[in-house]
Structure 1
Amino acid sequence: MQEQLSNSEENNEGTDLRYYLFKIVSIWPYIIICIALALSIAFIYNRYSKEIYRATVILLIESENTSSLSNVMEAIGYYNPRLTFENEVVIIKSLAMAERTIQHTDFGVEYWTEGRVRVTELYDKSPIELVMDSTHVQAINYDIVVADNGKGGYEVSIMNLDQSPSLYNYEEFKYEEINIGKAAGNIDATVNLKDGEWYTTPYHSFKIVRKNDDPFNELTIKLKSVQSIATQWQKRLEVEPTAKGSSAVDITSTAENPEKVRVYLNELVQQYLDFGLFVKNEIAKNTLEFVSSELNRVGDTLRAIETNLADFRSDKMILDVSMKAQKYYEQITELERQLTSLEIERNYINYIEDYLRGDQFQDDPVIPMTLGDGTSQKIIDQLAELESRKASLGITASEANPVLKNMNEQIGYLKSRLREAMKGVEERNSARIAKLQKELRNLESNLSELPEQEMDLLNIERQFKLNENLFVFLMEKKAEAGIAIASNRASSTIIDYARTERNPIFPNKPRVYIVALILGLFIPIAVMFIRNFLNNKIQSISMLEGLTKIPVLGAVGHNNKNTNLTVAKHPKSAASENFRALRSNLKFMGAESSGSEKGVAILITSSIGGEGKTYNSINLASAIALSNQRTVLVGLDLRKPKIYNDFDLSNEKGVSSYLAGRDSLDEIIQTTSIKNLDLISAGPVPPNPSELILGERCVSMMETLKEKYDYIIFDTPPVGLVADAFDIMKYSDIVLFVVRQQYTPKGYMKLIDDKYREGAVKNMAIILNDVVVESGYGYYNYGYGYGYGY
């Protein structure tokens, strides 16, 4: 028998999976409804959600700090090329750069149209344009509603939406100090304007002009400050390296209007490049300004000396000096030229020292190029650029920002190096000036030997030549600064200009539909599994196999007939076929009988009432009897006798009257209308049913019945209510336990399972009763696919 059970278990592999698959198939109408509903919601969501587009521009950030000074700074930890790269990223993401970008766009005026569900920004697709007078203040945070009045003009309504309106100066990009929140009632207005007609009040000055002939009913125009717009765009900006180890970056932003985000990114990178070029040009321009101021001063002096020299020669009638005087003149001129050059450098050193001592360059952080020392020049160039980039961060970077901290460390280090360099230059220049002044005094003492008029002429010519040489020197420096301005180029390069992605990143329509499809499929299935999980009733044979070690003999489908005699009266029904399958499966439990042997006693019980044990007893007995086997059905539920009603027989005599000694066995046996099937009803309800079952007459009845019949079917009371069934099991060869689908609680299986495991009940099997037919998972599957097989 155990081998048969093992084979049965092998045959039943995958049953649980098949059960749930058929359960899923059984709820397919709900799945279709849920999928259709989910897809409909997805369509509405995709249709009416605000679409967000993304654009990306690729920028190559190039580093020009390749000097030996940079290498030294990097070696001692004050210069990190990676942090320099991050500095540029911070500048790109700074609020100051965002404001600079917005100032060069037309984002300050927004055009919106209202559809049936959502409001959409038109931007460049607007059929009209609001042209404002930038020299006049404008009230912002108002809605300007423009409607076509059908007369070639517009009806303009200015409405306060409780958004704390303020006055804004679009020429200087700043708020006016006067807040007009309390004066809102004076600003609200509705006027009719012709195309191009100016509307001017103390709070507005603008006109509406037609851009194209596209029809429109009503548009809403919003005026916003540069600061508020820049803040919004700054929050949406993302800067990430294009590739690991690369100095190229992907600059990405998002917006509801695809053209607007493209315009913003392209303008942003252009302003970043212009800013870098501006820093370089300002260094050269400040140098040019310094040189030009010196040129003006020297030029004025040169012209005055030239006039003095001409007047002296005219008055004294002296055109030239002697050879000796000419020699002194040339020597003195050269010394004075060197001294003048050193004085100019000293002035510049004083300029640099003033910068190093104070913060006067915070407002104008660019310093001019030095005129001599090469090392100092490199330090000043780097220092000037760092100061400019630090200032560009504005309020967007706190002192705790690692990028700003690194920048401050670099600036501090460069200032220290510059002080040392300036100190060395000053000491060297002081020594040279002292030497040149001594040589000059010696030559000037020699001039005293010359005639007075010749000496005066020589002094004037000497001053003229000195200033002329200095003028030429300064002109050379001015040309160099001009060349520097003309040759400067941006440090970074645009690799790819901004391009808007074809499809919006939100909502991701394909993904929304996929998620909706999954949810539409998942929700009804999940509900089904949850209901099954929360359901404490027996649902399937696979569940029974998980709850107990008792094998399953088979299953019986739901009886939709109005009689319990299903096998006898409806032999072609599915339920009848189930009982014939059970009859066949009984042989695996040793239920074969022959005329020379004792009959097989089969006890049928259940855990509680209502599970169908009597129904199964009647129909299993009928199926056996119709196979030409002498069969008797014995009603042993002495407390609730009812089996006789289904056969339209009497209950006046039965088991209780026989056990009480009032009737003989032959007197209580009744013949039914079914061939080979007899019935012994329970009889009148006795006062002591348990004691009667335990009496000697019960033993005698069992032995006689086994000799007289091939099969004896005992219909007993539920084991969960009384112990009668356990008392009768000792007379039984086979015990069949009836479990009803969606009726018998799972916990009720423990009692009978414990008895089976303990060996108190042997040769036992379960019948799953009242199985509801589901699509593709009918009675025959239960009858033949479970239990012992067929």
Structure 2
Amino acid sequence: MSIGERLQNLAARYLPWWPLFALLLVLGIIGGWLYLRYATPLYQVKASILIKDDKSGIDESQLLESLNIFGDKKNVENEIQVILSRTLATQVATELHLYAPIMQEGNIKDASAFHNSPVIVEARYPDSLQAPEGDGKILFQYDSARSTVTLDKQPYKTGDWIRLPYGEIRFLDNPWYNHESSDRQLYFTLANPEDVGLALLNNLEVTPVSKVASVINFVYTDAVPRRGKEILNTWIAAYNNAAIRDKNQLASNTLRFVDERLRYVVNELDSVEHGLEHFRTKNKIIDLSAQGQLFLSNVSATDQKITEMNMQLAVLDKVESYVRSRESRDSAIVPATLGVTDPVLLQSLQSLYELESKRIMLSGVTGANNAIMKGLEDQIAAVKPGILENIRNQRHSLEAGIRNLDRSNSRYNSILQTVPQKERELLNISRQQAIKNNIYTFLLQKREETALSYSSTVADSRIIDQAIAGKLPVSPKRKLIWLAAIGLAFVLGIGIVEGKELFNREVSRRDEIEKSTGAPILGEIVQETTVSGSSIVIGQGRRSLAAEQFRHLRTSLGYLGINARKKRILVTSSISGEGKSFVCANLGISLALAGKKVVLIELDLRKPKLSEVFHMSRETGITQYFISEKTAENIIRPVPDQPGLSIISSGPTPPNPSELIMNGRLNELLDYLDQHFDYILIDTCPVSPVTDAYIISPLCDATLYIIRQGVTPRFYLKKMDEQLKIKPLKNMAIVFNGIKAGGGRYGYGYGYGYGYGYGYTEETKGKKVKV
């Protein structure tokens, strides 16, 4: 079958249902409009940042590189996981008070009042908030003149903390308020910040620009563009601040350590100075001798170096304890690195801390078997041995230096024995004062260096594009919704048609007949209406569609071998009501109009209908011939107003029709009719209830089997095909009758409007034809 024929079949199948498709299309358009009218539009907010990693990063703080001893390197893949962590998401939800969203009521749906509410809600303890029972709505009214908020008929000043059953909250001025007045009722709901953070993560998409670039794109989807911008900007700021806090952790611990040591050293220095002053006053010694000053100057430098080295050893011990404790997943606090001057060790410690921080943060996002997590574990395991080896080398070097300095002090102590007793005591006190002064000066210097490094720390990311919201919503997609509405209408229409066809038990289409039986379809007859309701649709000068189809059927008889010698045609069907008498009568008229002598035999002795088509009585007929009461000449009657057409009515209904047909008289009658008529059309009983048609068929030259649309049960097609294989009807062809006109739904689609396109006129408008 060609494409054109397939398209014609599809058109023939669905065009008659155009009112259904039109209705569904209108409903689909209305549904699409309602959806677009009330669906919440979603907007995309976009931003991008540059991550300076070890491959493609560019250090923005090169000017401060010499001061920032706590450098860092980033990895784009790791940073994306950090950005998508629940920790950052919860922090964003808390900072923007998204755990208490304010809404305004609408006629059909409520809308966000992110920038329509004059106030926002802040919770003192967001993690302990509890949602109210019921719908969760907490209604309130705001009085701008008094700056008060009314809850449950109780006014509260903005900024004052309010104890409520679901938590302690206060109302603050909304920094995003657009100052547009509205009479809509405002309310807020409460949620856990972690749950809100998870919802934010579902709306956020973070992707690298490419595999080789270190630029990250942020795309956040929100119903309120301004809120989306605030969320994205706050998210990026929270990420940068977290990175800075991580980098400053070592410096912060060092500052805390230095401050603690300074307080201790200041107290000791005050005590030593008070002791020195008291000793001088008591013993009336103002100053040291030249020999004492020489000793003090020599030993002070050595004491300072020993003190610094001992401090470095203590720091190395803490660092070593930190590194080893991490091997057992201990939560050891990051130690201070005061006095550690080796840049390799400092960089390694910073790298270890950063990797550990990443691991802790990622553990809340991904599982232990994640590839990125395993990569971090491998990096941590690779860094630690180098740090421990460096610490051992540093410790050996410091211990050797201390031993050398101790030997130098031993030589100076021998000089001290030559000094008088009181001056020797004064030297010891002065020596302690010098040591404390040196420690104090050293701590002050390190404090300034650490503070400067702390303040110079910058994030290892740079904002390329601030958050910007699209002007048009990305959802719902209007074109897609319209297409879906129209497509759904057609799909639903096709489904209804197919469903009806599936559950329809009667034959409705020509292709059903073609698939079920191998018998040819000789013609198709549409169901027409006539002014008088007569079953006769063909006549002299008539050019109706049905008339043309009967003329076509008349011509097609030649395909069955009907000619001057083979002229007997049997007309039957499966069940009663399929129009065999209608077809027989109109086909007979069509043959008579062609100048042929035609006789119709009403051989359906049980329910005869043929005589009624011509409004003729059937009192005299073939049953009387069978019992020899009448001769052939006596039972043949001309049909009024139909030249060339005669009829043999059924006569009185006999009690034994089949036996009468088999008594041999029928064959004699047919032989007689062969000599006097050009065509013999026999209207017999349907094949399903009785066997009359099978008895008569061997006496005929061809059989027209009538199938009527919407009447013939489908299972009769299969039954007919099986029966014909066992006991076939002679030279059988099918006539598809009773087709609803107006689109060719059930035929090939060659055009039931064919007659009207060539000047034919419709003469049969009125009552339906009884077939």
TM-score, structure 2 as length reference = 0.80
Task: Determine the structure 1 residue equivalent to 2:552.
Answer: 581
- Aligned residue among 338, 341, 344 for 2:308: 341
Task: Determine the structure 2 residue equivalent to 1:76.
Answer: none
Q: Which amino acid aligns with 1:320?
A: A
* CA 1:240–1:616: 2 relative to 1, 3 Å: same
- Aligned residue among 96, 105, 109 for 1:114: 105
Q: Which amino acid aligns with 1:746?
A: R
Q: Is 2:655 the counterpart of 1:691? A: no
> Are the aligned partners of 1:16 and 1:542 in contact in 2 as well (CA < 8 Å)?
no
Task: Determine the structure 1 residue equivalent to 2:764.
Answer: none
**Cα displacement string for residues 5-50 of structure 1 (whole angstroms, at most 9, x for unaligned residues):** xxxxx8x986564244134222222222211212212222222233
- Aligned residue among 470, 477, 497 for 1:508: 477
Moved more, 132-141 or 425-434: 132-141
> Are the aligned partners of 1:556 and 1:767 in contact in 2 as well (CA < 8 Å)?
yes
Q: Which amino acid aligns with 1:120?
A: A
**Partners in 2 of 1:414 and 1:617 — Cα distance?**
102
Q: Secondary structure at the match of 1:719?
A: coil
- Aligned residue among 290, 300, 306 for 1:320: 290
**Cα displacement string for residues 114-169 of structure 1 (whole angstroms, at most 9, x for unaligned residues):** 1211111221233x3368897999998575645578x95699542xxxxxxxxxxx
Q: Is 2:210 the counterpart of 1:219? A: no
Task: Determine the structure 1 residue equivalent to 2:519.
Answer: 550
> Are the aligned partners of 1:603 and 1:729 in contact in 2 as well (CA < 8 Å)?
yes
Task: Determine the structure 2 residue equivalent to 1:58.
Answer: 48
Q: Secondary structure at the match of 2:462?
A: strand
> Are the aligned partners of 2:276 and 2:430 in contact in 1 as well (CA < 8 Å)?
no
Q: Could you tell me how far 1:410 is from its partner in structure 2?
A: 5.4
* CA 1:677–1:272: 2 relative to 1, 3 Å: same
1:401-550 to structure 2, matched below 5 A, reads: 414=383, 417-445=386-414, 448=417, 474=443, 476-550=445-519
- Aligned residue among 576, 579, 587 for 1:609: 576
* CA 1:493–1:765: 2 relative to 1, 3 Å: same
Q: Is 2:41 the counterpart of 1:48? A: no
Q: Could you tell me how far 1:621 is from its partner in structure 2?
A: 1.0
Task: Determine the structure 2 residue equivalent to 1:620.
Answer: 587
Q: Could you tell me how far 1:624 is from its partner in structure 2?
A: 0.6
- Aligned residue among 97, 100, 114 for 1:123: 114
> Are the aligned partners of 2:15 and 2:745 in contact in 1 as well (CA < 8 Å)?
no
**Partners in 2 of 1:46 and 1:722 — Cα distance?**
63
TM-score, structure 1 as length reference = 0.78
Moved more, 550-559 or 681-690: 681-690
**Partners in 2 of 1:256 and 1:117 — Cα distance?**
17
**Cα displacement string for residues 386-444 of structure 1 (whole angstroms, at most 9, x for unaligned residues):** 45455667977787877667656755665565444434433343333234323432443
Task: Determine the structure 2 residue equivalent to 1:592.
Answer: 563
1:75-474 to structure 2, matched below 5 A, reads: 85=76, 87-105=78-96, 107=98, 110-126=101-117, 128-129=118-119, 145-147=139-141, 157-158=150-151, 188-191=152-155, 214-222=180-188, 224=190, 227=193, 230-231=196-197, 233-245=199-211, 246-291=213-258, 294=261, 315=285, 320-321=290-291, 326=294, 332-353=299-320, 355=322, 362=331, 364-365=333-334, 367-368=336-337, 370-389=339-358, 414=383, 417-445=386-414, 448=417, 474=443
Q: Secondary structure at the match of 2:186?
A: strand
Q: Could you tell me how far 1:346 is from its partner in structure 2?
A: 1.7
> Are the aligned partners of 1:112 and 1:122 in contact in 2 as well (CA < 8 Å)?
yes
**Partners in 2 of 1:190 and 1:297 — Cα distance?**
55
1:641-660 to structure 2, matched below 5 A, reads: 641-660=608-627
Q: Which amino acid aligns with 1:347?
A: A
Structure 1 residue runs of 5 or longer lacking an equivalent are 1-9, 68-80, 159-187
Q: Is 2:710 the counterpart of 1:742? A: yes
Structure 2 residue runs of 5 or longer lacking an equivalent are 58-71, 756-771
Q: Which amino acid aligns with 1:503?
A: L
Q: Is 2:742 the counterpart of 1:771? A: no
Task: Determine the structure 1 residue equivalent to 2:682.
Answer: 714
**Partners in 1 of 2:682 and 2:169 — Cα distance?**
104
> Are the aligned partners of 2:509 and 2:745 in contact in 1 as well (CA < 8 Å)?
no
Q: Secondary structure at the match of 2:303?
A: helix
Task: Determine the structure 1 residue equivalent to 2:644.
Answer: 676
Q: Secondary structure at the match of 1:566?
A: coil
* CA 1:344–1:48: 2 relative to 1, 3 Å: same
* CA 1:658–1:226: 2 relative to 1, 3 Å: closer
Q: Secondary structure at the match of 1:678?
A: strand
> Are the aligned partners of 1:83 and 1:403 in contact in 2 as well (CA < 8 Å)?
no
> Are the aligned partners of 2:100 and 2:121 in contact in 1 as well (CA < 8 Å)?
no
Q: Which amino acid aligns with 1:216?
A: S
> Are the aligned partners of 2:744 and 2:752 in contact in 1 as well (CA < 8 Å)?
no
> Are the aligned partners of 2:743 and 2:752 in contact in 1 as well (CA < 8 Å)?
no
Q: Which amino acid aligns with 1:59?
A: I
> Are the aligned partners of 1:607 and 1:719 in contact in 2 as well (CA < 8 Å)?
yes
Q: Could you tell me how far 1:371 is from its partner in structure 2?
A: 1.8
CA RMSD in angstroms comes to: 4.5
* CA 1:604–1:347: 2 relative to 1, 3 Å: same
Task: Determine the structure 2 residue equivalent to 1:176.
Answer: none
Task: Determine the structure 2 residue equivalent to 1:571.
Answer: 542
**Partners in 1 of 2:556 and 2:3 — Cα distance?**
19
Identity %: 24
> Are the aligned partners of 2:162 and 2:170 in contact in 1 as well (CA < 8 Å)?
no
**Partners in 2 of 1:612 and 1:347 — Cα distance?**
114
Q: Could you tell me how far 1:742 is from its partner in structure 2?
A: 0.9
> Are the aligned partners of 1:96 and 1:393 in contact in 2 as well (CA < 8 Å)?
no
Q: Which amino acid aligns with 1:43?
A: W
Moved more, 223-232 or 495-504: 223-232
> Are the aligned partners of 1:567 and 1:619 in contact in 2 as well (CA < 8 Å)?
yes
> Are the aligned partners of 1:144 and 1:157 in contact in 2 as well (CA < 8 Å)?
no
* CA 1:365–1:569: 2 relative to 1, 3 Å: farther
Q: Which amino acid aligns with 1:100?
A: Q
